[in-house]
């Protein structure tokens, strides 16, 4: 299979089970809502070292938010509901509660709930006030610019982490152009995030390492500098590989994001030396979700 003369390898990308939540951050204007969201999703590229993966999903217009103010939807992913709750409370407490004018609400309805305002309310030192609207409970915590409104809990659902595709290019600049085009298109896909910087990882990893206790290590098969001393998977003429990593709330979300990103990369990439698109296939060692590239693109 080829798209715009770019080869699509006959392989699959492996992904693994996670749990996720969505929260809605609102503020007096979009500038402050985004500042809180960017701070909250910092140091959240990979569960390998960050305990969670998080990113901005989309902007939300005021008429669609609970308090009719500009909003930002944030998705957080982790391996367990317990760790997800821990990361959520820490990040909302340190990055949203502290940000001027913000409030935070649940953005996911689910029977499974994890705490948010239920734990953060204690910052009010006894001056916090609870208010219930319908079946939802909110906490009003006094702060120096007025009140921080925080919903008591948010929904938690099963999710998928590690969906991916790799772009193989004649040069780094060509790989960057292909990935930038992919990210521009993928930012309109709902229910997914691309947690790495700019959505892209240069340090793609394989499962395991020769060093005891290290769960992942450099994906030597795609490192140009190791072509002559390892079992390289880089075609002749390819001198740079970059990986786009996707987390989504379900398989269809991940497939849609992969299809959108790959098509956009191929449309732009041939002008800059994009040769091939492949997937992170680890022989089934990473996870049970296998996204076959050619099936997704048909």
Q: What is the pTM of this model?
A: 0.95
Distance of alpha carbon 37 from alpha carbon 152, whole angstroms: 19
Q: Do 288 and 172 share a domain, yes or no?
A: yes
**Which pLDDT belongs to residue 108?**
97
With 0-12 CB in 10 A as exposed, 13-18 as middle and 19+ as buried, what is 170? middle
The residue among 101, 136, 157 that closes a domain is 157
**Which pLDDT belongs to residue 15?**
97
70 SS3 class: coil
**pLDDT 10s digits, 35-50:** 999 999 999 999 989 9
Is the CB of residue 234 less than 8 Å from the CB of residue 219?
no
Q: Do 223 and 243 share a domain, yes or no?
A: yes
Q: Do 142 and 174 share a domain, yes or no?
A: no
CATH of the domain at 114: 3.30.70.520
Q: Can you read off the two tokens belonging to residue 258?
A: 């992969």
The residue among 131, 157, 183 that closes a domain is 157
What total number of domains does the chain contain?
2
Q: Do 37 and 9 share a domain, yes or no?
A: no
**Which pLDDT belongs to residue 268?**
87
**Which pLDDT belongs to residue 154?**
98
**Which pLDDT belongs to residue 213?**
87
169 is in which domain, residue-wise?
2-15+159-297
pLDDT < 70: residue spans in the chain:
none
State how far the alpha carbon of 9 is from the alpha carbons of 3, 13, 218, 256, 277, in Å. 11, 11, 21, 18, 6
Which of 80, 104, 102 minimizes the C-alpha distance to 29?
102
């Amino acid at each position: 299979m080829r798209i715009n003369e770019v080869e699509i390898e006959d392989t699959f990308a492996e992904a693994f089970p996670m749990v996720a939540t969505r929260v809605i951050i609102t503020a007096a204007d979009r500038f402050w809502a985004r500042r809180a969201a960017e701070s909250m999703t910092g140091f959240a590229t990979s569960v390998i070292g960050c305990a969670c993966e998080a990113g901005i999903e989309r902007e939300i217009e005021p008429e669609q938010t609970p308090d009719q103010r500009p909003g930002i939807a944030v998705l957080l992913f982790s391996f367990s509901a317990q760790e997800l709750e821990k990361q959520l409370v820490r990040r909302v407490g340190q990055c949203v509660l502290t940000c001027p004018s913000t409030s935070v609400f649940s953005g996911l309805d689910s029977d499974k709930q994890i705490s948010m305002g239920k734990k953060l309310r204690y910052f009010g030192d006894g001056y916090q006030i609870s208010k219930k609207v319908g079946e939802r409970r909110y906490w009003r915590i006094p702060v120096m610019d007025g009140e921080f409104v925080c919903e008591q809990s948010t929904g938690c659902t099963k999710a998928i982490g590690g969906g991916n595709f790799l772009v193989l290019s004649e040069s780094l600049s060509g790989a960057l152009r292909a990935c930038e085009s992919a990210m521009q298109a993928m930012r309109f896909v709902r229910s997914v995030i691309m947690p790495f910087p700019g959505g892209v990882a240069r340090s793609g990893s394989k499962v395991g390492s020769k060093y005891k206790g290290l769960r992942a290590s450099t994906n030597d098969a795609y490192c140009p500098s190791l072509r002559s001393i390892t079992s390289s998977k880089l075609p002749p003429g390819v001198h740079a590989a970059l990986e786009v990593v996707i987390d989504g709330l379900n398989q269809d979300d991940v497939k849609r994001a992969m299809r959108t990103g790959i098509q956009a990369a191929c449309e732009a990439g041939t002008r800059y030396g994009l040769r091939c698109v492949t997937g992170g296939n680890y022989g089934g060692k990473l996870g049970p979700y296998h996204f076959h590239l050619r099936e997704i693109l048909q």
